[in-house]
Amino acid sequence: MTTIAFDVDRLRELDEGTQEAWRTYSESLRDLTGEEYERVEAESWDELQRELRRIARRRKTLVGKSA
């Protein structure tokens, strides 16, 4: 029972991490225009993708342990 509760908590944390990654991406672009937006968006998108892949790997590991 404790392991299941722990896993649910960890999955919830990963969901929150996903939301935070998207929030960070969005905030990094706020109020930018033109060339600055283009430059920052590409860098921010790459960072978002890295973070989402990291979270996906953690989720896969966690779900694999539960199976």
pLDDT per position as a tens digit, 30-40 = 999 999 999 99
52 falls within a domain: yes
What whole-number distance in Å separates Cα of residue 62 and Cα of residue 38?
Answer: 36
**Residue 40: domain span:** 34-67
66 falls within a domain: yes
| Number of separate domains in the chain | 1
What whole-number distance in Å separates Cα of residue 46 and Cα of residue 44?
Answer: 5
11 falls within a domain: no
pLDDT at 54 over 60: yes
20 falls within a domain: no
**Which H or E run includes 3?**
helix 2-29
67 falls within a domain: yes
| Mean pLDDT value across the chain | 90
Please tell me whether the overall predicted TM-score, pTM, comes out greater than 0.75 for this model: yes
23 falls within a domain: no
Long-range CB pairs of 34-41 (<8 Å, 24+ gap) are none
Contacts of 9 (CB under 8 A, 6+ apart): none
Mean pLDDT, to the nearest integer, of 8-32? 96
Which residue is listed with tokens 């590991």? Answer: 61
Residue 66's pLDDT band (boundaries 50, 70, 90)? low
